[in-house]
Structure 1
Amino acid sequence: MIRAGGVFAGIGALALLGGCEVQQVDSDRPETARDFPQATRPVSDLGANSFSTEQARDNRGEAVTVMDLAGIEPGMTVADIGAGEGYYTVRLAERVGQRGRVLAQDIDPDALSRLGRRVEGDRLENVSIALGGPDDPHLPADSFDRVFMVHMYHEVEEPYAFLWRLYPALREGGKVIVVDTDRPSNEHGLPPKVLFCEFERLGFRLREFVRKPEMAGYYASFEIAGPRPEPAEIEPCALPQEDRAHIGGDA
């Protein structure tokens, strides 16, 4: 049975980098994000929902490698954020089994519609589908053993608001899993040190970091390390010097 989540309107504007300064245009940001600092890095445009062909990804063992690193076991409850057309969703559903649950979330209703047809066709009764928001994954509190964000975190326009609202969704011992590519954030990737900093600012700590060719990038897992800060207490991460230079800025 597929449950559709609510529709949450409004996509924030791209952070504009001028030299070392970010132009703050709060009126162009979602109202729900304005209590949080704005990212000091550029954000990639939304990419295609298919990162690569599923057969190519299976041939190099991507999903198996990531699920093994993440310790996915039968009975777990997992969120697949930025699920697209469901490459990870269907494989996670098989791994967690009928005693487990997978919530597939995306902000693209067309992609979710296609995924819904796939889930119905494959009779994946342990999968639910929800439409998320650009600054809020809209995950129920204390519900997930793992939250997956695969080749999508660099597209999150309001990372501090997004992670702040994701934080309560983890169960005790839960982890956030990020797979991405080590390249500038406006080129559909994210330098690991930027990723580490943004998660640290929200009370997470890095648990594991691995580079493997099977993933065409890197794997990082995070766990809760301390209390969630108040929005006004969050200090945005500075864009690294080399990344400023890459996109044409000066320190």
Structure 2
Amino acid sequence: MSVHRQEIKRITTHILQEMKGRGEKISMLTAYDFSMARIVDGAGMDIILVGDSASNVMAGHETTLPITLDQMIYHAASVVRGVKRALVVVDLPFGSYQGNSSEALRSTIRIMKESGAHAIKLEGGMEIKESVIRVLSAGVPVMGHLGLTPQSIYKFGTYAVRAREEAEANKLIADAKMLEECGCFAIVLEKIPAILAKRVAEEVKIPMIGIGAGPHVDGQVLVLHDLVGITKDFNPKFLRRYADVHTIMTEAVSQYIADVKNKEFPTEQEGY
């Protein structure tokens, strides 16, 4: 059953912090276009992420690396037009912020001005600290992303669980505290051991949003196309499919084809 909180007209970073404070879990889901965003927002989602996962599910690329800043702005603007309640966060795409804080600020300003989104998300810890500080100094809310960072897939060489070893776990905790100190309003923790995610959520005051990080964080995020079963060939342990839209759509399209071929659509009543 969907939950509608009519008393909240618009989710803000302040409201998300209050939710963590009172132990209310934060719901977050991706969207990439107006129609889907309107459905997700209307259901009562707290955060909508215009993810660079659009590179995979919308454009058919193997990784998130190919999607451009212009393409992210197009998707973000489409989503914003469909949203009334949720906080809209947009991924800065690969190459638009790494190693150059001025470039990060330019990319962020373009996203905010041209899409109307509310915040941006960057992947990484200490290595992107300057970019995070630069963007925050311009008054733009920043969400961090630690653990498995898909834009670094060629460095990792695998999509396996991160931070199993003590050294990497310690770095992740230090990075999370650094992002909090810089002023980030939340952090996504992707594919890390649940016990580590629990520790980070307890030690860091800002909300931790998990994907494959167990139940002890402050909220959860999934990719919309995975959750509703549009995608069929992606089956990680952390994914729960809430619908089988792939089958429903295939059956509908197949029936339409059959009706056209058999001259059963349109009928006289379906014409003018």
Q: Which has the larger radius of gyration?
A: 2
Specify which structure has the higher proportion of helix: 2
Query: Greater RCO between the two (CA within 8 Å, min separation 6)?
Result: 1
* TM-score (structure 2 length as normaliser): 0.30
